[in-house]
Amino acid sequence: MCITALASAIAVGSTATTCTSTFTPATTDLIDDVGTRQFTITLTFNAVHTFTKFCVQSFTTDGDHYLLFGGNKITGTTDTTTSSYTVSFPTTSTVLIKGLYTCQRSTDAFVYLRCDLPNNGIETSSFSSATANHTSQITNSDIFARIPIDVEFCYFSSNTGEEFVLNLYNRNINTMRFYLRDSKDRLIGRRSGNTSSDFPGAGTAQNTLGNLNFTMVLRLERVQKYIPRYLNVPPTMSKIPAREESVVLQTLGAPGPLQ
């Protein structure tokens, strides 16, 4: 952030040559320490920064970091004036950035296993979009399982064998592709449009040759479904008017009414 802020300051006429940053909560704070857990950054320049407005934006296309730092998300891609955080200028050489809400350590509680085979699953549209808010739209779903996130390894073991079931109607299955996504159907650990790596280092194939992978065991069952080909209901009984009941009984050989 300091590099970007310094470049922006120079672009608007500042003579500053250095920029340093101070963060709170401090990196030495423990998880059980008390405090407001409000995220703040103080940028200090060695000269007047000349800023009159300063925006720090958290776009949903770049991930959910607004949740980590306690800011407001921006769903558009062309907004250049809305700030996701509170920005002020305590002095002419400092910039103070504050989160609107408390910080949190993670953004998702589950990782989602998806399958490319057609099935009868449904989901709300929010499970497939990170850039829009959906309230009631329902679409077809390829989600097969929802796995709790736990530190470095996400592990799920079935207790009954029926927690996650995928009903397939294909007579023949040539391939089955399973892949992991987050709660918005985005690549794990990737920014929008990036399929290689977003982590420091020279590696560019973490999801194919590196340490981002998963293993699974499937149980396949063939189920024969009964499909009735006729209407299976009791036969209808004709109703005879009361005035004709005696005539019908005599026809069947029953004694008629007394004369």
Separation of alpha carbons 167 and 28, rounded Å: 50
| pLDDT at position 259 | 45
Phi, psi of 24 (to 5 degrees): -140, 145
Q: Considering the entire predicted model, what is its pTM?
A: 0.66
For residues 45-52, average pLDDT: 92
CA nearest to 125, candidates 111, 139, 114, 115: 139
For residues 22-51, average pLDDT: 82
What is the residue type of 155? Y
84-108 pLDDT, tens digit per residue, is 999 999 999 999 999 999 888 888 8
Residue 131 has pLDDT above 70, yes or no: no
Residue 255 has pLDDT above 90, yes or no: no
Separation of alpha carbons 63 and 130, rounded Å: 8
CA nearest to 178, candidates 217, 231, 121, 232: 217
Cis previous bond, 25, omega within 30: yes
